[in-house]
Structure 1
């Protein structure tokens, strides 16, 4: 098939392609006249008719308009809003196929970025994933509270979201009656391990949002805390300043039998069940002894730190966000742990001031992975074992390549925990050991 770049730009231009793989964001990958095309709404093994939506120098983007040959793994969508919601990628793909695609993606990245051929990769599924999210953000516009339509970017009210907290529909109906709804840009909902709910009302200005008439109905649904968060920057969900509108004491969360105080903007894994699996593996990788000293990088509010401290002699957590460090110190006291400490700052800066007697290391960086200077410093400290938790297989494998490059370390095993069923996100744990 001849590819005409100018024609592809024209509205309505269509062509056929065969899908051979999936991209990191869940789009089908095919080829048109030797050029890669990323196709929304298509799966491996399918032949599809595609409408071109974007042309680049080295690739194309498109949307499947007709499935000419269907994958055996394509199913009826389990969500009525799937085809216009921008949240999930795999609502019409079998769960086993989702898991297989994540394993295949990790294998490809290991070979591409770390030069490793790994055949045996264990994945920990979540068969019962209904309502698995304990934290969602809902957009507010023109009196509607819901998600953003991926086609026209309007706000739509979801009919039956599979992954949000169970009481979300009832909460939305009450929140739609708030007299100051037109001042609210976004609403955050958090649910803790006891089923208590937190509501976060995000506004640009600091004028107090009125909730008095809705408070009784919200409390009846299990709402224990309501905050007003002030945020004028649309690039972020939340701003730095929050005010209590209702609720006494802290909002508590629990994981690995440790208790945590959560503020409205605290980071906490959205899938509590699978986070427990993830953290247990991350800790078990280190095979901790009562004499071990553990260096934890990107430690957040200390969710993993507490588990490490219960088995090791001493834990030092390094975290960039000073508010997270403050929460971590509070959480350590809350759990009666005094053999750990936290420092605020960039890991690449603070590691120069850290002693070299840490014999085990755990790191859980953001999607961008660890800074190269951090990895080089870890190699200088030379711990016996390194447990690396990652939310991006590509940056994990890039970093593994750096850690094993000089031959002093080897990758012992790599596992996946399916933290985000129905989505293309992959959460991975690697164990790296001294040779």
Structure 2
């Protein structure tokens, strides 16, 4: 009988980590991916999903602990799907993320940057998240809230989370108890009720926002409960409700209204005051977002004469701080609410040299002819559309800064921009925006040749 089949048990040594957070082992020229593994571990593993050259494995026993293996800060870290790497020493996490970026740039982009800078560590590897959104369910008659168990839709019940800002923990336990009498959404049947609990905090201001995501109509007397929360917690500036009755994994719907207080909290990032709503995209790690902006400021060293174009600008998180040193900033974003918010934030902060346009980047950029000194790209995980990259090559701005949360698509796009000799990759800076997970942020600087 072949050992290389589902159910077979192997003793394996973990050598490295992959981009999904799994440990990587080798057996007779084949690769085995093992969750909850640490480089240096010797493990007993049961094979699953076996292919000719690779397989996924399930950890059965740690035969020999790696020096990099640590005790997780969370008591349910082995079950919860929110983090992959709490069992790994933080310095080892940083080394793995740096290596993931290096390998992607070399293997996918076929590039060697002039300077590859050491990863910027997070000041706090725990307690950094300023936003959490927990699915809800009712189990044995009790309301449970937490992240899904790995590979499932079963909620791991939490009363606190070591990765979220600790000031949110009292809200989680209290709100779960207070939601006990209310209808809770059942995803198996689609029955109406409260389906998600969202919590946000302005880490610089301390202001907090509570959001309930509902499937169906707002239950009677929910406004009264919202007012009680607003009165009970001094830091809570608003209690909101978002309506999403569609089946599926999408968290937020298109309608949000305030039940008590206001629709947003205030946050200060790099000296700019933002109004952050329930569904606003805002970096979840405020301290690291400021390190990112400081890196951009240092690299660009704007003199006050430059025109900066920010594609995929969102609410202006990156471009508004940079606008203080530029002659002109143009931001492009396809979500109307984000554009409206960026315009309002610029006005609120007295920035008069900004323009924000609601448009799809790949449709808008090929027809735009203005001169740009600096192009800032911060696309979603899928990276830039080919039409955007072709338009960039046609217009050839002197400097491009590409900010990415996905090394593979970053490397692909950098390779495309550099392959014809139009640009060279000057600098690459990994940044740990999401400690305890396999996600890594990267900043890359391209200069025209």
Sort the TM-score into its range (normalised by shorter chain).
over 0.9
C-alpha displacement of 1:181: 4.6
Q: Which residue of 2 aligns with 1:377?
A: 391
Structure 1 counterpart of 2:228? 216
Give the deviation of 1:280 after TM superposition: 2.1
Match for residue 174 of structure 1? 174
Structure 2: tracts of 5 or more residues without a match? 185-192
In 1, Cα distance between equivalents of 2:201 and 2:116: 36
The yes-or-no answer on 1:387 pairing with 2:387 is no
The residue matched to 1:284 in structure 2 has which SS? helix
SS in 2 for 1:399: helix
State the secondary structure of the residue aligned to 1:300.
Answer: coil
SS of residue paired to 1:97? helix
Out of 276, 279, 287, the position equivalent to 2:290 is 276
1:71 aligns with 2:73: no
Structure 1 residue corresponding to 2:122, chosen from 126, 130, 150: 126
Would the alpha carbon gap of residues 213 and 362 (structure 1) be closer, same or farther in structure 2, given more than 3 Å must change? closer
Q: Match for residue 325 of structure 2? A: 311
Residue in 2 that maps onto 1:366: 380
1:381 to 1:286, Cα distance in 2 relative to 1, 3 A:
farther
Corresponding residue number in structure 2 for 1:204: 215
Where do 1:86-101 residues align within 5 Å?
86-101=81-96
User: Which residue pairs with 1:426 in the alignment?
Assistant: 440
Q: Which segment is superposed worse, 204-213 or 366-375? A: 204-213
Q: 1:207 to 1:213 in 2, by over 3 A?
A: closer
String of CA shifts for 1:283-336, please: whole Å, max 9, x gaps.
Answer: 432221211111111000111121121111111111111221111111111111
3-state SS of paired residue (2:318): helix
Q: Aligned with 1:15: secondary structure?
A: strand
Aligned-partner Cα distance in 2 for 1:380–1:263: 37
Counterpart among 240, 258, 261 of residue 247 in structure 1: 261
CA distance in 1, matches of 2:229, 2:420: 62
In 2, Cα distance between equivalents of 1:260 and 1:60:
46
- Alignment of 1:263 onto 2:277: yes
Asked if 2 retains the 8 angstrom alpha-carbon contact of 1:2 and 1:33, the reply is no
Stretch moving more, 410-419 or 172-181: 172-181
Normalising by structure 1, what TM-score?
A: 0.93
2:196 is aligned, of 186, 190, 201, to 186
1:14 partnered with 2:26:
no
Deviates more, 1:185-194 or 1:142-151: 142-151
Check conservation: 1:109, 1:397, Cα contact below 8 A: yes
Structure 1 residues 266 and 206 mapped into 2: Cα distance closer, same or farther (>3 Å)?
A: same
**Contiguous gaps of at least 5 residues in structure 1:** none
Q: How does 1:351-362 map to 2 (within 5 A)?
A: 351-362=365-376
State the alpha-carbon separation in 2 of the partners of residues 169 and 291 from structure 1: 46
Moved more, 109-118 or 418-427: 109-118
Q: What's the offset of the Cα at 1:427?
A: 0.4
Question: TM (normalized to structure 2)?
Answer: 0.91
Aligned residue for 2:342?
A: 328
Deviations 1:172-214 (A, max 9, x none): 2322223325221110001013111111101111224614246
Tell me the distance in 2 between the aligned counterparts of 1:319 and 1:203.
27
Provide the residue aligned with 2:31 in structure 1: 36
> What is the rounded CA distance, in whole Å, between the counterparts of 1:72 and 1:324 in structure 2?
46
Q: Is the 8 A contact 2:230 2:239 kept in 1?
A: no
Cα RMSD of the aligned pairs, angstroms, is 2.0
Deviations 1:214-248 (A, max 9, x none): 63355332211011110123321111111210114
- Measured at CA, do residues 217 and 372 of structure 1 come closer, stay the same or move farther in structure 2, by a change above 3 Å? closer
Q: Which runs of 4+ in 1 moved over 4 A?
A: none
Question: Counterparts of 1:264 and 1:208 in 2: how far apart (Å)?
Answer: 19
Change (3 A) 1:311 1:126: same
Q: Note if contact 1:171-1:218 (Cα within 8 Å) is conserved in structure 2.
A: no
